[in-house]
Amino acid sequence: MQPEDETGSLADEIQRTVEDAYLKLQPICRPGVRSNNVTEWTVLAGVVAVDQNSNMDKLRLISIATGVKSLPDTELKRSNGKILHDCHAEILAIRGLNRVLLEHANYLKTTGEVATDLLVFDSYSNTFRLKEMWGLALYISALPCGDASMTTLRTEASSDNETQAVVVDESDLIQYVDGTNKTILRGRMNYEKLGIVRTKPGRIDSLLTLSKSCSDKLCIKQVTSILNCMTWSLITGPVYLKYLIIPLENVAEELHLQRSLHKRIENVNMVPMKILKCHNRFLHSKSEKAQEPSAMASVKLFFNLPNLETSEQAILNGLRNGFYTKKEKPLRKNSETIVSRYAQWKFFQKLNPEITAGQSYLEFKRSQHDRKCLIEKTKRYLSPDGWISTHVDNVN
Ligand SMILES: [Zn+2]
């Protein structure tokens, strides 16, 4: 383990790298000021590769994302993989990493080259691996929603609808998504209850989302790796996050992160992250109660490949900005984002016609037995009463 000043400076360097890239996004991707003069806030996240061989001072930015919204479960009925159900920044940034890895695998396969700056191709096993020099870091400008951030709500508990931080009686069924499942709570309901799976927070009067909190999703990724089912099948050896960088405000926040992301799953085979504190607060984080969350999300991917440098998209309601149609209408052509399930699966099908022939996305995902078992085992551990799944969102 490095001394505090070294890990501290690494955390600050990563934060600066992500925020510098954020400042270069097109203005539509950043929070604005509404016509009633209310300023907006958002969360920023990024995945950065850290060179483990050079005193950790060489960084390679892979993806950045902003966003704080998730969609109601009912929206998924017309999705066919095109709608991003969960637009929280850290989840989008991880999707971005997977998309970058797919592009790198495609580049190596089509050019016959042996390596990119991220991946190496092993012709003997016909698989790829992440270059050994890299350790992956996830920066988030705020505590992940759900269990890891529940204790900070004690100081914020208010009548603010958006926080939905209310204490309810243990017998009150309003706190549950499904009254027969007592191990999954709705958003910030009964926020004093710790170590429990929660759905994404939202206004109490909004339609229910079944997307799970970022705390719960990060827990699962520490067991199953940060790879999705497609990159999992291409890349040898699971790839885990090595560092989590957050502008922690006090020791209590760090202890709760440890409790929520590590102790909660210590009896499952998981790979812990190094939780490092960065010192600068993100420019557009929430600083006043009167501020409103930005509806816009965004993602920018840093491919660094010949002829494919970067790709940047503003995202509204889970689709490319400008492409949203009212609920009763079908989705417009090309409305999906570059990190959507649809876009990634179509790309993966072209890359691997022999593996994907005749299979839908979900059939392929279910065929990965080891990965599926790991996910199911972790979900059972996190929520002994069972898992409440989101609406089926398949791509043919
Ligand atoms: Zn979240």
Domain limits of the chain? 4-140+220-382
Q: Is the pLDDT of residue 114 over 50?
A: yes
CA torsion, points 322, 327, 331, 336, in degrees to nearest 10?
60
Q: Evaluate if residue 164 carries a pLDDT over 90.
A: no
pLDDT at 217 over 70: yes
pLDDT at 5 > cutoff 90 = no
How far does residue 65's CA lie from ligand 1's centre (Å)?
12
Q: Which of 19-33, 149-163, 172-186, 370-384 has the lowest mean pLDDT?
A: 149-163
Whole-number Å distance, alpha carbon 260 to ligand 1 midpoint, is 14
Mean pLDDT of 63-79: 93
pLDDT > 50? residue 1: no
Active site residue 90: yes
Phi, psi values for residue 149, rounded to 5° = -110, 5
69 Cα to the center of ligand 1, angstroms = 8
For residue 167, pLDDT beyond 80? no
Helix (H) or strand (E) holding 60: strand 59-66
Average pLDDT, the chain: 92
Query: Using 50, 70 and 90 to split pLDDT, how confident is the model at 3?
Result: low
111 Cα–ligand 1 center, Å: 38
CA distance 66 to 389: 25
Rounded Cα gap, residues 341 and 99, in angstroms: 10
Residue 115 has what pLDDT?
Answer: 98
| Active-site pick, 40, 75, 90, 336 | 90
Question: 198: closest CA among 157, 154, 149, 246?
Answer: 149
Contact 235, 129 (CB under 8 A): yes
Q: How far is the CA of 324 from the centre of ligand 1 (A)?
A: 22
User: How many whole angstroms from 165 Cα to the centroid of ligand 1?
Assistant: 15
In whole angstroms, give the CA distance from residue 199 to residue 387.
11
Kindly list the distances between the CA atom of residue 272 and the CA atoms of 129, 219, 223, 224, 269, in Å, as whole numbers in the listed order: 21, 9, 9, 12, 10
Report d(CA 221, CA 270) in Å as an integer.
9
pLDDT at 253 over 80: yes
* CA torsion angle 219 222 226 229 (round to 10): -80
Which residues face 199 on adjacent strands? 212
Cα within 13 Å of Cα(340), Cβ side:
27
Lowest-confidence region among 54-58, 238-242, 266-270, 332-336: 54-58
pLDDT at 4 over 70: no
Distance CA 178, CA 157 (A): 24
- Condensed to tens digits (0 to 9), the pLDDT of residues 195-208 reads 999 999 887 777 88
Ligand 1: centre distance to CA 23 (Å)? 22
- DSSP one-letter string for 79-118: TTT-S-SEEEHHHHHHHHHHHHHHHHHHHHHHH--SB-SS
Query: Per-residue confidence at 163, pLDDT binned at 50, 70, 90?
Result: very low
Distance 347 CA to ligand 1 centre (A): 27
